[in-house]
Chains A and B, each alone.
Chain A
Amino acid sequence: MASTTLTPPGAAPAPRATRAITAARLLPWLLLAPSAAVLLVVTGYPLVRMLWLSVHEYERAQLLGVPAPFVGLDNYTATLTDPRFWTVTARSFAFMVVCVVLTIVVGTLVALLLMKLGRGMRLVLSVGLLLAWAMPPLAAMLVWGWIFDTQYGVVNHLLTSLTSTDWMGHSWLVSPLSFFAVATLVVVWGAIPFVAFTLYAGFTQVPGEVLEAAHLDGANARQRFVDVQVPYVRTIYVVLIVLSMIWDLKVFTQIFVLQGIGGVKSQTSTLGVYIYEMGMAQGHYGAASAIAVVFTLVMLTISAYYVRVTIREETP
């Protein structure tokens, strides 16, 4: 805001100075305007529309222009009293917890491995991680689907040749537990690269002399990790865990594609898939929006913590 000094003192008449101040005040807003406009269009409008839909009875006929009757909070009461909603929510959270724990643990191990590897192998591992990360989920899912295919899957083939029992024809998706084991594997596989890279970046910032001092003081590798390295990257962990929670709660593609390959839909739907099923597949857009609003509130609660941590980081 000190840019008013650009006006030569005394040279400009007072009104012009005022105008300059106004312009300077406006500048940040002008710079923010493009991204604000994009956000308003891309997330603001849909958000408002979703809230509007959630208090109306909006079915397929309404898509063609039939007026939608206002129903108040009926969609919400229906959602919150539907046992299926609670089953799906519980399932989503359980799935999220397992995925987040596995992602963080394996991600940490891979990050530590990256620290220890020589240049050549580190490059190979990094490229491998990047490829897994860059693969679009849908394409990845089709490949994973074939890997676990009941009749022609390579997993069944390998298990049959490694063990003496016949695994061909074993369906990995038919039991919900096994379905989610496969889903967890795929989701964690896709999530590890980001976590591993971020943690690796964090670990490299831990000063070498601190680690060396700890080493000289007789701290073993585990103690150095728990008492020195982890505290240094604590905030990174917080952010990664919160982000993973959000990503794994809203998982859609993986579950949706796996359900198309096999399994029992009613026993394997997670929140994202459930909303799609209610809205797109059955055309109950109002009811689906109500679920989506509740889901958004849950996500906001989780995100609030993340935002607080981030803001605290930025304003020391």
Chain B
Amino acid sequence: MKILRTGAVGLAAALVLAACSGGGDSGTDASDGADGAEIRVWLVGTDTPDAARDYLTTTFEEENPGSTLTIEEQSWTGLVDKLTTALSSSDSPDVVEVGNTQAATFTSAGFFAPLDDIADDLGGDDLLPGFVKAGTWEDTFYAAPYYAGSRIVFYSDQVLGGTPVPTTLDEYVATAKSLRTADRSGLWFPGQDWYNALPFVWENGGFIAEAGDDGEWEAGFSTDGGITGLEQVQDLMTNASNAPKDGDEAELQVPFCAGQTTFLSAPNWIRWSIQAPADAETPGCADTFGADLHAFPLPGATAGETAKVFAGGSNVAVATKSQDVDLAKKALTIMLSEEYQTILAENSMIPARISLASALPDDEFTQASAAAAANAELTPATPRWGDVEAQKVIQDALVRIAQGGDVTTIAQELDASIEQILNG
């Protein structure tokens, strides 16, 4: 019996048996209408504001009497694994949010239902083009843009004091280094935070990977520009940051609110986490470091320009295996409606509909974010990109760089790994 049990060990990991889908297990008999159905919407993280969630549930249930809509919140950690399992099971959620760089993993494998028939209802040409591209596979539109955002640099006046805000990338590095003390980082830069490392690579002329004419991918971290950028990253990680050398970019408001850093480069909507009351469920520091919070877009190589930053954000899609694809599409349409997207915009998230950008609040955080987003870059457009993220090759390389490893060697090895994955 032991033999069999040990045999099972290997396959437990290898097979798709995992019946996890830890989300809500709400009963299926909730419908009181004749043809009522239950639509389950998976939102990821706490980014979507409560007002939007309430609007979605209420509107959907008003428009579709007898049917109910349940929002189940998922975590960004391990999302691809979890979606793979859930979306291929018979108990699939109906509408799912997915990170923009993860979308291709699913669109290319048939996990999402085509949206071409409702593309105009969703916003048509008004949708963010980069995200439409991320959600399109072989000319079929599968995943609609949800919201976008970009990283901006936060600081608190009481901490920065009289030090001027840097206007070029070199100044930014120098200022962050000069502000570092034993108890306070100049810039909080955990070793795995690859989103914040990319701008340095891009600004110096490096790139992640580009497809040649023959379709072969060539990675660009070990180009001259890439190495210069990674050396800047290493300089910051070792001389400006006290953050864990192998830490990730989760819960960034914690070190900021603990007064452990002067600069914090984070998604613009983290502002709400920082300015949450100290006794909130996810505590912030509205009364201390959040009281005089400011932000600026990451400066570029020359003064007056912003750096190329990573285009963050999400796409939303309808699951192929949804019990009721038509109803799920209605829920999706509400999520891209002007009303819903306006709520997102009012909460500083760049809306999926370009025309609603005017609803963004007129504060410095949103302006900084809009300025940064104007110069945003995406990861390589190939479904294999998901494997690069899953293997954490960039994070691994950055952790080694944070420990003071030789940048050229690490960059060359990183490029070799990325090329091996992308070219199969």
Residues of A within 8 A of B (CB): 39, 42-44, 46-47, 49-50, 53, 59-61, 63-66, 150-151, 169, 171, 173-175, 243, 246, 250, 252, 260, 262-267, 272, 275-277, 279-283, 285, 288-289, 291-293, 295-296, 299-300, 303-304, 306-307
Contact = CB atoms under 8 A, between A and B. Distances in A.
A39 B387 CA distance: 35
Interface of B: 1-18, 77, 80-81, 84-85, 88, 105-106, 108-111, 191, 242, 244-247, 320-321, 386-387, 390-393, 395-396, 399-400, 403
B392 A265 contact: yes
A150 B247 contact: yes
A210 B6 CA distance: 38
Contacts of A263: 246, 399
Given A265-B395, A280-B84, A292-B11, A303 B109 contact: no
A60 B105 contact: yes
B85 A300 contact: no
- Which 3 pairs across A and B sit closest by C-beta, in order of nearness? A292-B10, A262-B246, A60-B109
B15 A39 contact: no
Contacts of A250: 6, 9-10
A42 B78 CA distance: 26
Nearest to A289: B14
A279 B3 CA distance: 23
B390 A282 contact: yes
Contacts of A49: 11, 15
Contacts of B109: 59-61, 63-64, 283
Given A173-B246, A260-B77, A282-B386, A47 B14 contact: no
Given A50-B10, A262-B247, A300-B7, A63 B15 contact: no
Candidate in B14, B88, B242 with the most chain A CB atoms within 10 angstroms: B14
B2 A306 contact: yes
B88 A63 contact: yes
Contact of A174 (B14, B77, B246): B246
Given A174-B245, A282-B386, A283-B84, A299 B6 contact: yes
Contact of A46 (B3, B12, B191, B396): B12
Contact of A276 (B4, B13, B88, B321): B13
A119 B109 CA distance: 63
A306 B1 CA distance: 11
